[in-house]
Amino acid sequence: MTSTAQAAGRSPVRRLAGTLHRRPRLRLSLLLTAPLLWLAVLYLGSLAVLFVSAFWTTNSFTSEVVKVWSTDNFHALFTTPVFRQVILRSIGVALAVTALSAVIAFPVAFYTARIAKPKWRPLLVVAILTPLWASYLVKVYAWRLILSQGGFADWMLKPFGLSGPGFGLFATIIALTYLWLPYMILPIHTALEQLPANLLDASADLGARAGRTFRSVVVPMVLPSVAAGSVFTFSLSLGDYITVQIVGGKTQLIGNLVYSNIELNLPMAAALGTVPVVVIVLYLLAMRRTGALSSL
Amino acid sequence: MEATAIRLQGLRKVFGETTAVAGVDLDIADGEFFSMLGPSGSGKTTVLRMIAGFESPTAGRIELAGQEVTGLAPFERDVHTVFQDYALFPHMTVEQNVAYGLKVRKVPKAKRLQQAREALADVRLEGFGARRPSQLSGGQRQRVALARALVGRPRVLLLDEPLGALDLKLREQMQVELKAIQREVGITFVFVTHDQEEALTMSDRIAVFNQGRIEQVGTPAEIYERPATPFVAGFVGTSNLLEGDSAQQVVGASGTYSIRPEKIRVLKESAEADEPEHSTATGTVVEVVYLGDATRFLVDLDAGGRLTALQQNLETSSEDVAAYRGTRVRLRWHHRHTFKVPTPR
């Protein structure tokens, strides 16, 4: 009797909470329905539509999509020299940006995580993240100004009898590296910060000088984080098409081809669009082997 | 006189405002199992880290085998360390961990793998070479760390509370093994611990540290039976001191006296008061702690002060000893177990 009296006296919110507590499956389904719908319908669904539409064709006069099953688009991807070149160039740019980011990020992260005084470290991390708050377009246009003819780069290099790289592939790589560098620095910083000092002591204790300790202990332990950072730099670079429009001169990457095909030949654009998806999936699979995904 | 493995002279270390080590002089002989015993923050680990070269002393001098090494880097010293948390390289296999020191010294690959396997066999870890440290238990990791430090046959092995993270059973087993390994290889072991029992059971000699200084250096028996200061008497074994008035009444002289609990017999109050060459004191049992193999009696003396007496449970059970709580008893011990503790002036 007392228990019913108590139950009657409880507020509906408490009763609901109690019911949910006793029914974990109900709790789980309420919790997951919305995000799962989002993932299945909006995300995976749109990817599926992309993939399916890549097998359609267009009427070459009206540019209207004709829903006839055909592998012509994928055939064209692999046989048309321009497409092949652009795909390889895009992958090359993504790899170059990743490599350049890693080379720059390592010393920066080493400084912020191990050399700088502990009280300055959080501030330095904030400083590294600050550029991410600025607008993408502003940053890329800033690079356009820097790299333009008679711009900052030219002015800096003039005393040495050199000139800036101008717009083109190299400028694209520099600008993309600048854009995605924080995503590389941050995981490396975290890994270096968490590297136990005892391991460095142990290495020295066993007879290793600083260089040896760096090669045999620091680098291998931080490598998974470099790979984690590279997932960002690689995929973000592969998908970019605005930076290359602004500082790339006549350079074309996959994104530009997708963009220029979208009006005229949507199925071709879809076929081109699946390329970075496939490349990134392959890249992720390769990175998973290094253990990078668990240090994201 | 045996050769000196380690000589410390006037060693000091100051971190900012705190003095971790306040002047340590110490000679450790070749082949000795030497323990540095003390509470946490007593400076023993800092001394060890200075011998290893991880910290440089604020003042003083460190010699290894007669050669000054005070300013040398860790990799320039013929000393290896077993770390408290083992500090195994997680990205290397057990075998690579053990062979690391040899690889750094450019020992040919075939030779260093063979030596690594032998070292693993020495610590009874054959067949574990291909595993990662994360796949080992605490005791196994501990032995890998030991093999890694021993494989290069250093002149001195430094051990920083290496058994601290192990459970009691494993710790007792490792104590015996460590001692056996040390006898086998004949390397000088410097062992840092806060566990007095560990120090007593394993060491040839012990230095007791307190507040950055050494209170006493001696064999386990000397440290235990003839503590040089009240701190040593209290830290090693159970604190059992008679001071002031109670010392005057019970011992018959002024000063501070130490009596080990297991030397004291607990008798009925009515027992004969006078027995030749024995001291006696009456009091009330305030607490009885049943330990299984023995019982600890805390007795408030009529003369003032409190003594702990430890009795083997030869024929008594836990119910028997519990009945002692609150009863009147007479404590008795032989004169030779009353030890006068020198008090610092």
State both tokens at B42: 């007593």
Contacts of B89 in chain A (CB under 8 A): 199, 202-203, 217, 221
Residue A180 lies in a domain: yes
pLDDT tens figures, A6-40: 555 678 889 888 888 888 888 888 888 888 888 88
Residue % of chain A over a pLDDT of 90: 47
From the DSSP assignment, how many helices (H) and strands (E) are in chain A?
A: 16, 2
Whether A60 is covered by a domain: the verdict is: no
For the cut 70, the answer to whether the pLDDT of residue B301 exceeds it is yes
My answer on whether A40 and A120 are in the same domain is: no
A166 token code pair = 């101008």
Question: Is A208 within 8 Å of B104 when comparing Cβ atoms?
Answer: yes
Residue A279 lies in a domain: yes
Closest Cα partner for A242 from A262, A263, A256?
A256
Q: Both A26 and A137 in a single domain?
A: no
Q: What's the structural domain count of chain A?
A: 2
Same domain, A82 and A43: no
Query: Nearest residue on chain B to A223, judged by CA atoms?
Result: B91
Strands B306-312 and A65-66: unpaired
Mutation choice for B interface testing from A195, A205, A215 by most B CBs within 10 A:
A205
Task: Report how far residue B184's alpha carbon sits from residue B202's, in angstroms, rounded to the nearest whole number.
Answer: 14
Q: What is the pLDDT of residue B1?
A: 45
What percentage of residues in chain B have a pLDDT greater than 90?
Answer: 50
Distance CA A180, CA A171 (A): 14
CB contact set of A249 (below 8 Å; sequence gap of 6+):
A166, A167, A168, A171
Interval B236-283: pLDDT, tens: 877 788 888 888 888 878 888 888 888 899 988 888 777 888 888 899
Is residue A166 one of the residues assigned to a domain?
Answer: yes
Is B100–A205 a contact, with Cβ atoms under 8 angstroms apart? no
A46, A76: one domain: no
pLDDT for A3 equals: 52
- For residue A151, tell me if it sits in a domain: yes
Asked if residue A7 belongs to a domain, the reply is yes
What is the total residue count of chain B?
Answer: 345
B85 near A CB under 8 A: yes
Q: In terms of domains, do A111 and A45 share one?
A: no
B47 Cα to chain A: minimum distance (Å):
15
Domain check: are A94 and A127 in the same one? yes
Rounded Cα distance, A255 and A48, in Å:
19
**Diameter over CA atoms, chain A:** 96
Q: Note the pLDDT tens digit of each residue in A136-156.
A: 999 999 999 999 888 888 888
Q: Does residue A58 belong to any structural domain of this protein?
A: no
Residues 207-246 of A with CB under 8 A from B: 207-209, 212, 216-217, 220-221
Q: How far is A290 from chain B (nearest CA, A)?
A: 11
| Mean pLDDT lowest among A84-98, A108-122, B266-280 | B266-280
Q: Which of A86, A61, A77, A65 is nearest to A267 (CA)?
A: A65
SS3 of B239, please?
A: coil
- Residue A170 and residue A112 in one domain: yes
Residues A161 and A237 in one domain: yes
Average pLDDT over residues A230-248: 92
Alpha-carbon distance B217 to B27, whole Å? 10
- Using an 8 Å Cβ cutoff, are B157 and B190 in contact? yes
Token couple for A252? 């074309």
Report the residue of A206, A216, A225, A294 to disrupt the B interface, i.e. the one with the largest count of B CBs within 10 Å.
A206
In this predicted model, what pLDDT tens digit does every residue of B16-56 receive, in sequence order? 889 999 999 999 999 999 999 999 889 999 999 999 999 99
Label residue B169 by pLDDT band (50, 70, 90).
Answer: confident
Q: How confident is the model at residue B230, as a pLDDT?
A: 84
Taking residue B42's Cβ as centre, other Cβ atoms within 10 Å add up to 24
Residues A49 and A124 in one domain: no
Please report residues of B whose CB lies closer than 8 A to that of A206: 75, 80, 100-101, 104, 148-149, 152
Domains annotated on chain B, with CATH: 4-231 (3.40.50.300), 241-341 (2.40.50.100)
Angle at B155 between CA B153 and CA B156, to 5 degrees: 105
Range of the domain at A143: 72-295
One domain for residues A41 and A76: no
Shared domain for A24 and A82, answered yes or no, is no
Tell if the CB–CB gap between B89 and A207 is shorter than 8 Å: no
Residue A61 resides in a domain: no
A104: domain CATH number is 1.10.3720.10
Residue of B307, B179, B195 lying closest to B250 (CA atoms): B307
pTM as predicted: 0.76
HSE-CB at B147 with a 13 A cutoff on CA atoms is 31
Same domain, A115 and A152: yes
A206·B148 Cβ contact <8 A: yes
